[in-house]
Amino acid sequence: MTKVIFAFLTLFLISACSTAPKFQINGVDKILTPTDVLVDFPIRKSSTVMWGGIIVNSENLKIGTLLEVLAYPLDSNYEPNIQKIPFGRFLTEHPEYLETVNYAAGRIITVVGPIIEVRKGVIGAAQYSYPVITAEQLHLWPTADQKSDTRFHFGVGVLFTN
**Do the domain assignments include residue 162?**
no
Query: Where does the pLDDT of residue 150 fall: very low under 50, low under 70, confident under 90, or very high at 90 and above?
Result: low
Q: What is the CATH number of the domain that holds 140?
A: 2.40.50.140
Tally of structural domains, the chain: 1
**Do the domain assignments include residue 120?**
yes
How far is it, in rounded angstroms, from Cα 130 to Cα 144?
Answer: 29
Range 8-36 average pLDDT: 73
How far is it, in rounded angstroms, from Cα 54 to Cα 36?
Answer: 19
| Mean residue pLDDT across the chain | 85
**Do the domain assignments include residue 56?**
yes
Range 4-27 average pLDDT: 60
Neighbours of 125 (CB within 10 A): 5
**Do the domain assignments include residue 35?**
yes
Range 62-91 average pLDDT: 97
Selected residue with higher pLDDT from 66 and 155: 66
Answer whether residue 119 shows pLDDT above 90: yes
**Do the domain assignments include residue 14?**
no
**Do the domain assignments include residue 149?**
no
Q: Residue 61: which domain range? A: 24-144
Of 62, 49, 68, 69, whose CA–CA distance to 96 is shortest? 62
**Do the domain assignments include residue 13?**
no
Range 4-8 average pLDDT: 45
Answer whether residue 7 shows pLDDT above 50: no
**Do the domain assignments include residue 3?**
no
